[in-house]
Amino acid sequence: MINTSYKELLAPLPVSLLCKNMENGEVYANPACLSMFGAERQADTFGNSLVFYDVQSRQPLTAEQHPFSLCNGQDTLHLEVRVKSNFKNLNCRIEGKKVTFDGQPWVVLHVHSLQDNDITGTQTTYSSMANHLAFSRLLSGISSQLINVKTEHLDELIEKSLGAFGEFCGVDRCYLFQFSDDKTSMNNTHEWVAPGVLPYKDDLQNVSSNDLPYFDNTIKTKNVFKIDNVDDLPDEAALEKEEFKRERIKSVLCVAVHINDKLFGFIGCDIIGSPYSWREHDVRYLKLIGEMLSNTLESVTNRVSLQQVTTALEKANEQLAHQANFDGLTGIANRRQFDKSLEKALKRGTRDGKYISLLMVDVDHFKHFNDSFGHSAGDVALQKVAKALDSCCKRTDDLAARYGGEEFCIILPNTNQEQSLSVAQEVMRAMAALNISFEPSLGEGILSVSIGKATQKCDASITNAQLIDLADKALYRAKKDGRNCIASA
């Protein structure tokens, strides 16, 4: 057993000490250390039950990385860690030193809590002021990141903010919940947990308000839910007490979050293992973080809403533009788009000294087709014809348009006589490939078209009307020549 005189030496000291005999492995925690962790009931086993976590990697420090081992290998030690016990988890600064007592090697660790209260739970005016200044700096740093956060980075930054707050206050878990639109259920949307603490975010989805009625009523009516010791919850909070015990929560603090003056959810934090008396500034700090996240969520929500409205308007404008420029039945360009495109092509052709060709296409005996098969079949036939004509437009500037009724046009910029004839012949083949049965047609019992073709060298004297008139006269000759053929102006 450990030398009694050694216990007598350490017991009255007001500093928190952990000591380990490096020969026999005995660990001793003095009363100040036990008190800091609230572990007086397990004095004999407390020291061996501790787990130390690296604050950066959040991984447990074991084997050679354990503070006792580190100090044993380097005489002195200065380290910041998260210490997990069966009672209270604390962020601590450790100062260690190797000593020899009664001829045996010992490592003595001075464990200093980084929370703003000392082992007696009191706080000096100086430490209080320093803590408030430190929190102001933390708040400023979080705020600067949240001001112009992009939507895609919002979730990550919210969890970082929760983590910064959780680490500063030394709590075990910090989280954000969102209520459903009808406020009958809630989801844990963001969560930060200290090293060694079990996360519950995935478990706390679609939680019904009926599952936590006492909490639900309190947070919605009072905007604050503050419990120092869950064992002290009233009888009507039996469901809440059961859930808190499942998560090993001993103390819980939550404040409501509002967006655009409407209840959004709540932000909260937990203490695991032992009760904790929440102080006035704990509540104030959490409210400030909640308000900051609320302002950010409100800004992002409004930004998203504005973007949605803008997108909807853009989509509506696109639909209006499409309706204004494209034929509702066939889906290809309408007469309005045709006129604009032909004028644009003529101007460009004049500037570049190029040829332009125009094909005017008429579906042969289409009135008879409608009378024979009905207007629905006629509409389907026109859709197929339009698709066939559009497929013959190989270049980006080529345009197939419905000119009116069963008449179509194809604009072919920078296209001479020979090239335009090739396109017209391709149109005839495409029509034959449709194989739309129609006995009165001259196209071997299938629906056919007649094509009038006009080609001109562009110059400032040529107008839309003149080129259309040339193609129309050529189409008239094609019809006069027996239809199902091509005629040139």
Query: Do residues 85 and 39 make contact, with C-beta atoms less than 8 angstroms apart?
Result: yes
Q: What is the pLDDT of residues 232-280, one digit of tens each?
A: 999 999 999 999 999 999 999 999 999 888 899 999 999 998 888 898 8
pLDDT at 450 over 90: yes
Q: What is the pLDDT of residue 103?
A: 84
Higher pLDDT among residues 58 and 378, named by residue = 378
Kindly tell me if the per-residue pLDDT of 126 is higher than 50: no
Residue type present at position 211: D
Q: Which residues pair with 77 in a beta bridge?
A: 96
Q: Which domains does the chain have, with CATH numbers?
A: 4-113 (3.30.450.20), 125-303 (3.30.450.40), 335-488 (3.30.70.270)
pLDDT level of residue 11 (50, 70, 90 thresholds): confident
If you compute the radius of gyration of the chain from its CA atoms, what whole number of angstroms results?
A: 41
CA angle at 179 for the pair 174 and 185, rounded to the nearest 5°: 110
**pLDDT at residue 121 in the model:** 42
Residue 93 pairs in a beta bridge with 80, 112
Q: Look at residue 54 and give its three-state secondary structure.
A: strand
Q: What is the pLDDT of residue 383?
A: 96
The whole-number pLDDT of residue 118 equals: 36
pLDDT tens string 77-107 = 899 999 988 888 888 899 999 988 888 888 9
CB atoms within 10 A of CB 312: 10
Q: What is the average pLDDT across 324-343?
A: 94
Separation of alpha carbons 425 and 486, rounded Å = 8
More confident residue, 185 or 155: 185
406 catalytic, yes or no? yes
Of the candidates 406, 418, 426, 444, the residue annotated as catalytic is 406
- Mean predicted confidence (pLDDT) in 403-427: 96
Task: Give me the mean pLDDT over the 214-241 stretch.
Answer: 96
Q: What is the mean pLDDT of residues 344-365?
A: 95
pTM, two decimal places: 0.56
State whether residue 89 is helix, strand or coil.
coil
Q: Which of 257, 278, 288 is nearest to 170 (CA)?
A: 278
